[in-house]
Amino acid sequence: MAEVPTANTPEVEVDLDDAASALGDELSTASDSLRSSILQYKWRHGRRYHAYREGQYKFPNDDEEQDRLDMMHHVFYRLIGDKLFLAPINPDGKRILDLGTGTGIWPIQLGDEHPVAELIVGNDLSPIQPHWAPSNVKFLVDDIELDWAEPEPYDYIHCKYMAGSIKDWPRLVRQIYDNLKPGGWFEFVESANTLLSEDGSLKSDNPMVTMMNGLMEACEKIGRTMDPAPNMKGWIQQAGFENVTQQTFKLPIGSWPKDPRLKECGTLMRINFLDGVEGFTAALFRDVLQWSQEEVAVLNAQVRAAVRDRDVHPMFHVLVVTGQKPS
């Protein structure tokens, strides 16, 4: 298997023949106790949002967003070496919890690959998961920031792509610790949301940087940091976890990398920005930063143009942090 590039590997090489790339640019069982109000979604700025605990999550949950989330699942899966997790566990016979499961694609794939896992629970504010799933997969609609009332502890808890969603990360990490079995593992996966370029091609006035800075500012205003990743290792250690490790992976935006795996991930990230920018900016820029509809539309257009610029080679660092509860 080809080496998976991490942040400790040499600078990502630009594919000078990118224009000729064959890859190119085109590329639940929900809880029976759900109240009808949970399904009465809210609409703002032309996008659909969750109704349960309304306003806790500032990104859409409509079909367009669900497609984007499924694509991001594939990006993370490819980025870390075609794996669903990096913690040293065998899911067979284990109880597993996926926080912020979104469409449920992660627990469904895990259930397909490990049919003898005892139970895989996907938790989210929105009941957008499919009605079909492996028999050992269950979906719950709940707010993970409330006090947990789990009937049994878990062997492994997984949390991915939750930036901008959580008000009190240290408290959540403590709840994760309290709801793991002795010897159980927690895994956190998130991009450090400061864009960078290794060759200096990304400038501070790039519209992508403007958008990311605005998202950071808006999330700080509502008390839900857009950049928890750099602090996660410390929070996990403070909660009492042992054997804490952090791995960093380079995630490009655009099909400019020469490495085939990074080219695929980068091409999908370009689509993520092109298709996702309206969902990123709708509520946070309009409602929190008080931008006008016209100002947001101009920024969105500028971001799309910037993402298509082949002379700029932006990337994120994706952090994967794992820790074990003492036995």
**Residue in 122, 205, 207 with CA at minimum distance from that of residue 160:** 122
Q: How confident is the model over 216-261, as pLDDT tens digits?
A: 999 999 999 999 999 999 999 999 999 999 999 999 999 999 999 9
Sheet containing 180-196, strands listed edge to edge, beginning at the edge strand earlier in sequence: 137-141, 119-124, 95-99, 154-160, 180-196, 315-324, 242-252
DSSP notation for 31-94: -TT--GGGGS-EEETTEEE--TTTTS--S--SHHHHHHHHHHHHHHHHHTTS-S--SS---TT-
Within 8 A by CB and 6+ apart from 263, the residues are 15, 21, 23, 255, 256, 257
* Percent of all residues in the chain with a pLDDT value above 70, rounded to a whole number: 84
- Three state DSSP letters for 26-46: CCCCCCCCCCHHHHCCEEECC
Which residue did the predictor score with more confidence, 33 or 310?
Answer: 310
Question: Do 157 and 321 touch, CB atoms closer than 8 A?
Answer: no
Q: How many CA atoms lie within 13 A of 179 on its CB side?
A: 22
**Residue in 314, 223, 240, 227 with CA at minimum distance from that of residue 272:** 314
Cβ neighbours, 10 Å, residue 256? 27
Give the model's pLDDT for residue 127: 77
Sequence ranges of the domains in the chain: 21-324
Question: Do 282 and 298 touch, CB atoms closer than 8 A?
Answer: no
CATH entry 3.40.50.150 includes domain 21-324:
yes
**Residue 268 above 60 pLDDT?**
yes
Tokens 């992660």 belong to residue = 106
Give the model's pLDDT for residue 53: 53
**Residue 321 above 90 pLDDT?**
yes
Residue 56 — pLDDT band, cuts 50, 70, 90?
low
**Residue 151 above 60 pLDDT?**
yes
Residue 141 — pLDDT band, cuts 50, 70, 90?
confident
Cβ neighbours, 10 Å, residue 188? 25
Within 8 A by CB and 6+ apart from 117, the residues are 91, 92, 93, 94, 96, 110, 111, 136
Give the model's pLDDT for residue 300: 97
Average pLDDT, the chain: 88
Residue 37 — pLDDT band, cuts 50, 70, 90?
very low
